[in-house]
Amino acid sequence: MNVPDIIIAVDGFSATGKSTFAKMVAKEFGFLYLDSGAMYRGVTLFSMENGMIAEDGAIDEAALKAVVEDLDLHFRNIDGKTCLYLGERCIETEIRTLAVSSHVSPVSAIPFVRNYVDRKLRAFSEGGRVIMDGRDIGTTVFPNAELKVFMTADPEVRALRRYDEMVEKGETPVFEDVVKNLAERDYIDSHRETSPLRQPEDAFVMDNTHMTLHEELVWCLGVIQGKFGILEAPALSW
């Protein structure tokens, strides 16, 4: 099926499977996948490593503001995977730890951080044929995205998925900590002043609590076919 050169915005709460879905769609249709959350995680990691986040979580906003515009955060394609780099250093693993997860929401609520990330994301997406996931992609970063998807799933299922993902990476998380972290991030992400997480009015909503990945792909194909009037029967690669 020939999918046009569009921008697909994928938003939703933490651990709803946005990145898994977006990567799968990108691979199926030959789109560039961009993970906007990774950018906020990159800023957070940099702040932590440079003493800008105190033990109690207080952020030295003045220090961060002085350097944020010079941060060379960018994505590189390594063996077909999109990896985040800070300068010449791959930080893909470091940005996924629970330590970074527990500081990222307050960092991402800072307006000048959002401004920096939004500009980078738009620059990376020049030329289109991009699928990007996050919290404000369809509302703020690309309000004119041709296709918007909003993902939801039961909180228990989300926590279990995130827990399994961390165990698979060799971490030893405590399930209750993962549940708590998700609840805190849901709250901060949807209550912050600048670009809070909202379901865009024109988004297609997917609740994937009981869906397999294959069902998600079939769902997406159906939405694309309907939206762009594509009659051709979709041939999936798997």
Backbone torsion region of residue 80, taken as left when φ is above 0, otherwise alpha when ψ lies between -120 and 50, otherwise beta = left
Residue 42: other Cβ atoms inside 10 A: 26
* Secondary structure element (H or E) that encloses residue 35, with its range: strand 32-35
104 binds ligand DC (CB under 6 A): yes
- Placement of tokens 């350097």 in the chain: 67
Task: Pick the closest to residue 23 from 220, 160, 164 (CA basis).
Answer: 220
137 binds ligand DC (CB under 6 A): yes
- Options 133-141, 150-158, 170-178, 230-238: segment touching ligand DC (CB under 6 A): 133-141
- Options 36-44, 55-63, 66-74, 218-226: segment touching ligand DC (CB under 6 A): 36-44
40 binds ligand DC (CB under 6 A): yes
134 binds ligand DC (CB under 6 A): yes
- Options 33-41, 152-160, 207-215, 219-227: segment touching ligand DC (CB under 6 A): 33-41
106 binds ligand DC (CB under 6 A): no
185 binds ligand DC (CB under 6 A): yes
Binds ligand DC (CB under 6 A): choice among 24, 136, 158, 208: 136
Cα dist. 9→1, 33, 47, 79, 235 in Å? 20, 10, 28, 24, 23
- With contacts defined by CB under 6 A, how many residues of the chain interact with ligand DC? 14
Cα dist. 34→52, 114, 201, 205, 231 in Å? 26, 16, 22, 20, 28
Residue 222: other Cβ atoms inside 10 A: 12
CB of 117 to ligand DC, least distance (A): 7
Tokens of 4: 């046009």
Nearer to ligand DC, 47 or 105 (CB): 105
Nearer to ligand DC, 110 or 217 (CB): 110
Binds ligand DC (CB under 6 A): choice among 17, 37, 106, 200: 37
With beta carbons less than 8 A apart as the criterion, state whether 61 and 107 touch.
no
Binds ligand DC (CB under 6 A): choice among 16, 47, 82, 105: 105
Say if residue 198 is exposed, middle or buried (CB neighbours under 10 Å; 0-12, 13-18, 19+).
middle
Nearer to ligand DC, 37 or 200 (CB): 37
200 binds ligand DC (CB under 6 A): no
Footprint of ligand DC (CB under 6 A): 14, 36-37, 40-41, 104-105, 108, 134-137, 185, 189
